[in-house]
Amino acid sequence: MKSFLNRLRNLSGIPAHPPFPDEIHLAALGERWIVRYRKTAGRSVQARSNGSGILTVSGRVEDGREVMLGLRRWLVRQTRVSLVRWLNELSAQADLPFGAISVRGQRTRWASCSSKGNINLNYRLLFLPPDVVRYILNHELCHTVHLNHSRRFWSMVASLEPEFRTFNSQAKRGMEEVPEWAKGK
């Protein structure tokens, strides 16, 4: 089924690529959002959730670039709320403190840890299964102690995630889980 935006684009002659969603499934959180598009005045596009599983995308919805940016800003907010909370919980459980957290849209990494213990999370993590996300978060927490992939590092990861090899393999194929509109350029 074509989304409202794609129908609008087809009527206006704007190419419908990438197709924007009628529904967003954030596997990491076990959430599904119904997406509604509403054309309103303004220069940008805003994506707002009402807490009941409805995400309203409003503004210049005929502008595909603005829609993509609005949806990505919403994903960043969701990551800041949910995955940062999850990272804090895992940090406390493992007694592995970290520095600052930032949320980005890295193209080749799910997350990273700096030499200062700062952790960068990719908002696309939201599309991965929860076990894989937990593994990635624990992986980065282990980097706060071992900023390498040494035997000691992997031993620490294994103590937190005994099935880390399976999750690591799934993470390598994880971009397949991310919808095209969220990959973007």
- What average pLDDT score do residues 166-182 get? 95
CATH 3.30.2010.10 at 4-183, yes or no: yes
User: How far from chain centre, in Å, is Cα 148?
Assistant: 24
Local confidence band at 19 (pLDDT 50, 70, 90 cut-offs): confident
| Residues ≥6 apart with Cβ < 8 Å to 10 | 2, 16
- What average pLDDT score do residues 73-85 get? 97
Take residue 71 and report the two structure tokens written for it. Answer: 């949806």
- Give the predicted TM-score (pTM) of the model: 0.88
pLDDT in tens, 82-101: 999 999 999 999 999 999 99
The rounded distance, in Å, linking the Cα atoms of 96 and 158 is: 15
- What average pLDDT score do residues 165-179 get? 96
The domain locations on the chain are: 4-183
The rounded distance, in Å, linking the Cα atoms of 171 and 180 is: 17
